[in-house]
Structure 1
Amino acid sequence: MSNTERPKSSEEGKLRRWVSNLQLESWQLELLITGFSIFLLASGLEEFNSFNNRFQETKLINGANDVNPLINDSIKFILNTIPIGLKFFLINLLIHLLLRGFWIGIVGLSSVSSKIDFESLRFKGKFRRFIPENVKSLDELILYLDKISSVVFAYTFLLVFSIISVVIVFAIGLSAMGISVEYMMSPDSSGLAVGLSILMVIVVMFYFFMAILFFLDTLLFSYFKKSRWFSILYYPFYRFFSFISFAFIYRSIYYHLITNFQKKYIISFTLVLLVVVYSFRAAGQLNIDKYYPEYTDKSELMISEVFYDDSRMEEQYIRTASIPSKFVSNGFLELFIRYNPGNNAILKVICPDAYEMEYRPSVLIGFQEGMKADSIIEAMTNNEEYDKRLLASIECQTSMFEVYIDGQLQSDLDYSFKQHAAHQEKGYLTVIDVAQFGRGKHVIELKGLVASRTTVLREVTEKDLSMKTKAKISFWIE
């Protein structure tokens, strides 16, 4: 009997010794990972913010595609939460690095002397007893800091994975809600489809309710699992949310912490971390300019560098319009109006024939045209029908804009399609003769058709459209 169990015991002993050795040397791995992670986070956070802004500026614009706005918002929610998780991660790693640095300092000091000679200090009164009882020896402090540092390191990853779980679960819920509402609001939906959509909305609301309970159970140290009757009902939902939230990745860390450390310490550390993050955020948003107004690009009394090509920062995108400079010297002003994919729903109403203007000939048509021209590209440029469609398209698309200079409507403007040199923003270019306005300051007011907010989850109609000011740009004629 003992012979049959010996190999198993031997394997367990080897594993235990390997884990013990790994635990003794884990501080080196912790410092290595922490150092690299801090470097990558510090350098990568700005890069991610740049990517996030660029992606949302060009891809996640409500109304720009056939994707439901709530799904777009779900993706934005995920992308906007990532920097928050990264900041939590960075702060925790900095705390861990500080603790490990302190620990290494104590280890170095203990190599000189590991004892504290309280007798030589000659404390009197209550200090004679209080100080020796409450001051740890260097050996005790080394063990204590080693333990705390490892816990903080593990807690860092627990916190980050928990944030990811919350984001994933609520993004799935928002997407499902968006799909349900879209089908319910669709004019082509049958009575059965509407009924199923309403049922789906109810299911999604129940999903959110159970998701909140799932995360509350985590925050309350598995309180709901301890109830005899409620745990029976809660179990299938726990399994479901554990799967979609990837909770199985960090579950071992979670249960190890709540079973080996007092709840008050876990809560206290979490609250301190939240206060630190909130303090940094509040400090960044602190407004001491009480008498300076909030910026708006719809007032001629405010000037934004984003409107001027020679002043705009390299990473900034054109949002509405731009001109080359504040100063005009040759009597002609170039005005670039950005094509906003969010206006696709409006253009679909006023310019239904201008939809999908990219010329994509079939292979057969390409070869047929190639018999008459040197190449398919040449055949495309020689297509008179396509040119007529382009002309009709730009005339229709730019009809959604009105350009005023000093309150005077500029009619009969000649527009061309253009991709701006800054970030290849697509838009419309017109050149205005401003010599008649004379020397001094002048203001361009750009108005455009805007759909009412009630069209977020339904199709836009002509009754929903109204002309509103989009930007005011000041310039000076020399």
Structure 2
Amino acid sequence: MMNRDSPKGKDESKLRRWVANLQLESWQLELLITGFSIFLLATGIGEYNEINRNIQENKLNPGANGLNPLLSISINFILDTIPIGMKFFLINLLIHLLLRGFWIGIVGLSSVSNFIDYDKLGFKGKFRKFMPENVRSLDELIVYLDKISSVIFAYTFLLVFSIISVVIVFAIGMSLMSVTVILSTSQELTVWVGILNLLAIFVVLFYFILAVIFFLDTLFFSAFKKSKWFSVLYYPIYRVFSVISLSILYRSIYYHLITTYKRKQIVGISFVLVIVLIVTLKADALDVNVFYPERTNISEQYMVDEVYDDLRADDHFIHRLSLPSKYVENGFLELFLRYNPKDNGILELLCPDSYKLSPEEGVMQGFKAGMKAQMDTTLNVDELIRDKNYEAKLIESLFCQTQIFEIYIDGELYPNPEYAFKTHSSNGERGYLTIIDVAELGRGKHLLEVKKLKAGGTARLRGVQTSDLKMEPMSKLNFWIQ
């Protein structure tokens, strides 16, 4: 037994008193963190959606060169799940703030009076015995609410981290699955490729089975760790997935809760919080416009503001195409068609010479060019860096790339449109600009339709072939000549 007068015993006693004082004053920290978190979440969800939209528009295009489509989908899944976790976090913190506010009100009331005079109330019959036995005193209510508020505060962080764990584990599994898709769609279907594909499928299935076992153990209050024989098999699974799911960061909270509180209490609180989240999400998705059509970009009967520069919000990206306005005043229609990295596989097939059009102007290349120019004064650094035939390559590449589009005005194919590369002023979207003379069409409403060569998702995974290409409608929109 350790002597309390020893230096180590004094340090532990001092630490215990410090922790005890911190626990008594923890409600102040809870309110401070809750209020600050609510403010950040309420203002940050919109900002995050904008950042997420920017990332997905410019960096995570499935099918782009160098980016595995399923890996891109996995990352998008994580990014799209974060706002749900943020809303769940916000709801729980609001509940915590409400309970803490109620708790503070009870504390203030108890300082005035802490006694309920049941004789003065004059209850009769069974109420005379039932009410004093089942109505908590203010002191008991203060302790009870304090405990519930602290549990919800800690439990909120536990649930949010648990959701993050599930998303991460699922995203890793989807990334592993991409290997099987690539092997199964490989053009070289040899015996070894087939064996590797079967092995990869087995690894993916084994991974998901182990992941399900890991999360079931968590849901069933560590039941697998209590099994005499299965715990031996489960131990390596637990160690691996503890790292993959990042549960090592929050498992202390989990074990504290399941050992301190009854299972039915934990299940009850979880059920209530999940119901609140589901109700909130359903309320956001509630649609009372049952007679209004689904939004579409390929119908002239539906006006989409995002395709007109003067109507599109500043934080919205151009997804397919854009016109300056739905009204044409000078007889020329400016059509911007966005370059989509999803089409890289198609462009690689049709325009292989257009790959890596941007000249590489790295530090070493510039240094070497500068050294050559110093040795030979007749040479120019810019000429050494840039390809002399670069302009001709641009013209040839522009013509080739824009062959994937077909433009129709009032149902008739517009012949030989002239294009130019353009970076749009909206949000820096890259694409192609063509200016169409529509002065002879006459005043009034007209229909612009754009078709585009497309290939299926499977074709993009294994490599696009000519037989995969099909010209399909991309967008229809109206414009008016004044």
TM-score clears 0.5: yes
Rounded to whole Å, the distance in 2 between the matches of 1:57 and 1:459 is 22
Residue 12 of structure 1 aligns with an amino acid whose one-letter code is E
Rounded to whole Å, the distance in 1 between the matches of 2:474 and 2:345 is 17
The structural deviation recorded for 1:2 is 6.9
Q: Are residues 279 and 329 of structure 1, via their aligned partners in 2, closer, same or farther at CA, if it must alter by over 3 Å?
A: same
Rounded to whole Å, the distance in 2 between the matches of 1:124 and 1:87 is 48
Residue 355 of structure 1 aligns with which residue?
A: 355
Residue 401 of structure 1 aligns with an amino acid whose one-letter code is F
Alignment check: 8 A CA contact 1:337 1:429 kept: yes
1:462 corresponds, among 436, 444, 466, to 466
Residue 432 of structure 1 aligns with which residue?
A: 436
Residue 469 of structure 1 aligns with an amino acid whose one-letter code is P
Rounded to whole Å, the distance in 2 between the matches of 1:44 and 1:32 is 18
SS of match in other structure, 2:159? helix
The reply on whether 1:473 has 2:471 as its aligned counterpart is no
SS of match in other structure, 1:111? helix
The reply on whether 1:229 has 2:232 as its aligned counterpart is no
Rounded to whole Å, the distance in 1 between the matches of 2:24 and 2:163 is 30
Instruction: Number of aligned residue pairs: give it.
Output: 476
Structure 2 matches for 1:68-79, cutoff 5 A? 68-79=68-79
Residues 329-364 of structure 1: CA deviation (Å, up to 9, x unaligned)? 111110000011110000011111111100125333
The structural deviation recorded for 1:26 is 0.6
Residue 339 of structure 1 aligns with which residue?
A: 339
Residue 450 of structure 1 aligns with which residue?
A: 454
Residues 161-202 of structure 1: CA deviation (Å, up to 9, x unaligned)? 111111111111111221343245333575435423421220
Residues 393-428 of structure 1: CA deviation (Å, up to 9, x unaligned)? 000000110000001111111100000011010000
Rounded to whole Å, the distance in 2 between the matches of 1:76 and 1:246 is 20
Q: Are residues 216 and 23 of structure 1, via their aligned partners in 2, closer, same or farther at CA, if it must alter by over 3 Å?
A: same
Residues 81-137 of structure 1: CA deviation (Å, up to 9, x unaligned)? 111111111111111111111111111111111111111111111111111111111
Rounded to whole Å, the distance in 2 between the matches of 1:358 and 1:8 is 67
Alignment check: 8 A CA contact 2:346 2:464 kept: yes
Q: Are residues 331 and 131 of structure 1, via their aligned partners in 2, closer, same or farther at CA, if it must alter by over 3 Å?
A: same
Alignment check: 8 A CA contact 1:306 1:316 kept: yes
Residue 324 of structure 2 aligns with which residue?
A: 324
Rounded to whole Å, the distance in 2 between the matches of 1:367 and 1:294 is 62
CA RMSD of aligned residues (A): 2.0
Residue 392 of structure 2 aligns with which residue?
A: 388
Structure 2 matches for 1:165-184, cutoff 5 A? 165-184=165-184
Rounded to whole Å, the distance in 2 between the matches of 1:114 and 1:461 is 82
Alignment check: 8 A CA contact 1:68 1:179 kept: no
User: TM-score when scaled to structure 1?
Assistant: 0.95
The structural deviation recorded for 1:440 is 0.6
Residues 19-39 of structure 1: CA deviation (Å, up to 9, x unaligned)? 111110111111111111111
Residue 401 of structure 1 aligns with which residue?
A: 405
Residue 411 of structure 1 aligns with which residue?
A: 415
The reply on whether 1:36 has 2:36 as its aligned counterpart is yes
Residue 108 of structure 1 aligns with an amino acid whose one-letter code is G
Alignment check: 8 A CA contact 1:184 1:198 kept: no
Alignment check: 8 A CA contact 2:369 2:381 kept: no
Residue 421 of structure 1 aligns with an amino acid whose one-letter code is S
Residue 430 of structure 1 aligns with an amino acid whose one-letter code is T
Residues 185-224 of structure 1: CA deviation (Å, up to 9, x unaligned)? 3335754354234212201211101101110111111122
Rounded to whole Å, the distance in 2 between the matches of 1:431 and 1:81 is 41
Rounded to whole Å, the distance in 2 between the matches of 1:325 and 1:372 is 51
Q: Are residues 420 and 366 of structure 1, via their aligned partners in 2, closer, same or farther at CA, if it must alter by over 3 Å?
A: farther
Rounded to whole Å, the distance in 1 between the matches of 2:270 and 2:464 is 47
Rounded to whole Å, the distance in 1 between the matches of 2:278 and 2:102 is 26
Q: Are residues 296 and 366 of structure 1, via their aligned partners in 2, closer, same or farther at CA, if it must alter by over 3 Å?
A: farther
Alignment check: 8 A CA contact 1:114 1:138 kept: yes
Residue 73 of structure 1 aligns with an amino acid whose one-letter code is I
Worse-superposed segment, 90-99 or 447-456:
447-456
Residue 303 of structure 1 aligns with which residue?
A: 303
Alignment check: 8 A CA contact 2:308 2:323 kept: yes
Residue 18 of structure 2 aligns with which residue?
A: 18
Q: Are residues 327 and 250 of structure 1, via their aligned partners in 2, closer, same or farther at CA, if it must alter by over 3 Å?
A: same
The reply on whether 1:107 has 2:107 as its aligned counterpart is yes
Alignment check: 8 A CA contact 1:181 1:201 kept: no
Q: Are residues 386 and 372 of structure 1, via their aligned partners in 2, closer, same or farther at CA, if it must alter by over 3 Å?
A: farther
Unaligned runs of at least 5 residues, structure 1: none
Rounded to whole Å, the distance in 1 between the matches of 2:65 and 2:24 is 55
SS of match in other structure, 2:243? helix
Residue 200 of structure 1 aligns with which residue?
A: 200
Alignment check: 8 A CA contact 2:179 2:200 kept: no
Alignment check: 8 A CA contact 1:447 1:468 kept: yes
Residue 244 of structure 2 aligns with which residue?
A: 244
Percent of counterpart pairs with the same letter? 57
Rounded to whole Å, the distance in 2 between the matches of 1:449 and 1:45 is 37
Residue 153 of structure 1 aligns with which residue?
A: 153
User: TM-score when scaled to structure 2?
Assistant: 0.94
Residue 292 of structure 1 aligns with which residue?
A: 292
Residue 130 of structure 1 aligns with which residue?
A: 130
Residue 481 of structure 2 aligns with an amino acid whose one-letter code is I
Alignment check: 8 A CA contact 1:400 1:448 kept: yes
Rounded to whole Å, the distance in 1 between the matches of 2:94 and 2:284 is 19
SS of match in other structure, 2:300? coil
Unaligned runs of at least 5 residues, structure 2: none
